[in-house]
Amino acid sequence: MTKVSGEDLGNRFGTRAVHAGKIPDPLAGAVMTPIYQTSTYIQEGLGRHKGYEYARTRNPTREALERNVAALEGGRHGFAFGSGLAALDAVLKLLSQGDHVVSGENLYGGSHRQMTHVWARLGLEFTFVDAADAGELAAAVTPRTRMIYAETPTNPMMRLCDLAAAGETARRAQALFVVDNTFATPYFQRPLEFGADVVLHSTTKYLNGHSDMVGGLLVTGRDDLAERLGFLQNAVGAVPGPFDCWLASGSPGIRKWSGCIIRACRRTHSTSWRAAR
């Protein structure tokens, strides 16, 4: 189970984007995490290893990405998956047959398809509402509601959800609050600060930003959920390869993306300030 260091959480956003989650390579001292393109690891004896036994369970390159995004979101634990939909699949596996989910109606098409054509057939019940209407969302809650799911802004219609209101509704219902933060990114919005239990990303999109990999990621600040998600990640095995993780977290991905956003926002602020004068 990947856990963020307290030192990383203490840094500002730009520093987190570049350095969070990176542990110098013990062999050569490389500052940036190498691509550990391996499926197995040497063991000193039966059951005696260095913390890495099989790459489906743990891989240092994948862990660097997991720690990095978790730190950007202000969470404690990150879990990388082979796609955003694989991450959603893991989230919905936290539920059981007969459980009810209240979700925004304007979702990424793949998310809606998975909910209605896969999970509904297996016994989950979904109610889709206008997530921009906090009253409508709250009114859809039933005694069997176990999760409130929000995507904000939505893909592709850019519809918004009041995260604070939705988080309060989830708290009152004692339901999990899950937020797809793909389009906003943690630079503009950190749902954990509004009561979210789990944050979901399709790393394929803004976090990577170069259309050269497919991936997903979950972040949580709760140790109990981290235990369950870590179990599902390993038991189901929908993990990304180390090269895709490197593309997302290394120079081609988050490090370059974050720098571009920070510079663009500073230029916009400077321009606005000059215009106001």
Instruction: Tell me which residues are annotated as active site.
Output: 56, 108, 180, 205
Pair 129, 105: CB distance under 8 Å: yes
Helix axes 60-73, 242-249, angle to 10 degrees: 40
Cβ atoms of residues 183 and 173 within 8 Å: no
Instruction: Give the Cα separation of 189 and 157 in Å (integer).
Output: 18
b/e burial code for range 95-123 (CB count within 10 A of at least 16 → b): beeebbbbbbebbbeebbebbeeebeeee
Q: Sign of dihedral through CA atoms 32, 36, 42, 46?
A: positive
The CA distance from 215 to 208, in Å, is 9
Alpha helices (H) along the chain: 6-9, 13-19, 60-73, 84-92, 109-114, 134-139, 163-173, 185-188, 223-236, 242-249, 254-276
